Structure 1
Amino acid sequence: MAVLHAVFGRRLVRADRPSGRLLAAQLVLFATAVTLVPESNWLLFGLIPLIFQLAGLRTAMVGVVLANTALPVSDLILRPEAFGPDLVIATISAAAGIWLGFWIIRVIEQSQERHRLNQELEASRAEVARLSREAGVTAERSRLAAEIHDTLAQGFTSIITLLQAADPELKDEKIALAVRTARENLAESRSLVAALSPSPLASGSLPSAVRRQVDRFAEESGVRAGLRVTGDERELPTAAEVVLLRAAQEALTNVRRHASAREAAVLLAYGPGSVRLVVRDDGCGFEPGAADGYGLSGMRARAKQVSGAVTVRSDPDTGTTVEVEVPA
């Protein structure tokens, strides 16, 4: 029995692989031992824990009963005078062995449950820390957006108003140039406010926020634009939604400023494990390798933060396609 356990049993126990064959072999060897030498019944102290290691709870309970009945059964044939006392001992031993094995298994299960709960607690703490960081980042971005709106944007608006009051027809070229410059910088500051503030998502879903951006783009630029949503719409993590919304804003801003397009189309596609945002235009295109000045480097950086990817395809004949895909 010791050799059998050393060669096969230890490996199976360490691998937590129950083995009915090995258990049956040990029971046969034990029954042989107590039949030949009744004092071998003391091996039950080591055999009962081994039974619970080699089998599940129900099988182990049956094995304990069989191991304890081996001596009384042999007594019926070889030692009838010892049958009564050995039967009493076997009954007590079987009951104690089953109770002890059941108690040990419950202790193990409770330890495993505590380990699982500790892991969940650690995961919850990490999630709380992540959400706290996101909340802090969102608050800081909102503060910066408010500062830009209240200082730079308002200042450019005041400059434009003062210059137009001095020369309503903008006949003076220098004043006209100053007004154009101030308007361009006002547009830039508004873009910064839009990029920093997550407010479009606060008032609705991601598709509705993107649709508002598309409608605003069409109204301001005069370029025909539409949004198509495919797949099963679902709620995404805030970070992923912000990345997709900012990508739509940046791509549409590039279309308005650089593409000279007649039409633009936006696709928001919900897939089983990811969400894609695709912005296409029929404009003049550009060299994708030299496009980092169009805000694409920032778009890629934001997508990388959520394990996403940005793909850009551009051609003078077919226009430009910007695709952003994030896991969700």
Structure 2
Amino acid sequence: MPADVPVDEPQGRLTAAGHEPGPDAWLRWFWLWELYFAIGFVALVVVLAVSGGTTTDRVGAIAAVTVMAGWYVAFGRRVILREQPSWWPSRIYMLGNLVLLVVGVIFQPMTSFALFAVCPLAFITLRLSEAIFVVIPANLVPVLSALAEDGVRTVLHGFLPGTLLTITFAVLLGTWIHRIIAQSEERAELIRELEKSREEVSRLSREAGVAAERARLAAEIHDTLAQGFTSLVTLVQAAESELDGDRAKARRHLELAARTARENLGEARALVAGLMPSALGTGSLDDAIRRQLERLAEETPIKATYQVEGESVALPTVIEVVLLRAVQESLTNVRKHSGASEVSIRLCVDGAAATLRVADDGSGFDTARPVDGFGLVGMRTRAEQVGGSLLVHSGVSGTTVELEVPR
């Protein structure tokens, strides 16, 4: 009977099989930022080269911008791409950018166009509050430069409105950039956690499958091989006691022991192959139950009766296995423990369920006390695996086992 827990069920993966999780979404498109940075650097150098002012001013501004680009390639890029962000290197990097921006604006005010790279870098490398704190004074550098050269009136009419608009745009755009990066990192962390969770679920599923298979094998071994060996020992002992007396009776015990051994061998082969019980492989459930009663009559003086009611007993194999094992275990308990003189089996099959009732007139036992062994526990477990139920009533007048399973 197959275990009811799936083992190693195929699963989709959040990442490609055999590959590590890919980089964050924004890192996959990081090359676009670098292309933007490179184009912006070249354009700014060209603008500064053709701008007015002295040669010293142009060279000084171009030098400041070039150092800023080198500062990004040598240090800033590693700060951005670092897996675990470290805020002090980020702060040092942005402080260097601000110093170079101020130097470049001092030589040539048009160096302020570098803000199109400095502002996004602030939001990429720093916390949001820190980035805003950096972006606002960075955008005020050109204003302060113009204030020093042209006076307050020129700044109020020419620079301040555009600067305020630039600051507002930079803060909004930077906040959006920062949110995209944060969401990308959160999703990456969520994917890693999901991968770990799925690995844990897969491991637990395998362990549950192994435990279920062990329980199934334990029940099969108890209900087939162990009971068969018990019968063999009983029959051999009976034959041994008759060797010096009734040899014909001893021979009959030995023949029955040989037949039991062959059946046990068949059960062992079926167990190894994972097939249905050998008793069901050669006939119907009805035939298998009758053979169990015939063996009981041959081995013991217990009188046995069998009655079938309702529809045909052709049932799904998994249900037939549960019913047959219940009959085997019940008869074994009658034989070994009850001291009964009579046992009756009634099987009732209708459209909704199959009900098995095994009753004997033995000494009974206390159902409230813990039961040693695997028999009753195994029967109850089998019944629950197919959605059924098992009831045991026992007293001085005998024991009744009732098993009901849905069709």
TM-score by length of 2: 0.38
TM-score by length of 1: 0.47
Larger Rg: 2
RCO higher in structure (CA 8 A, sep ≥6): 2
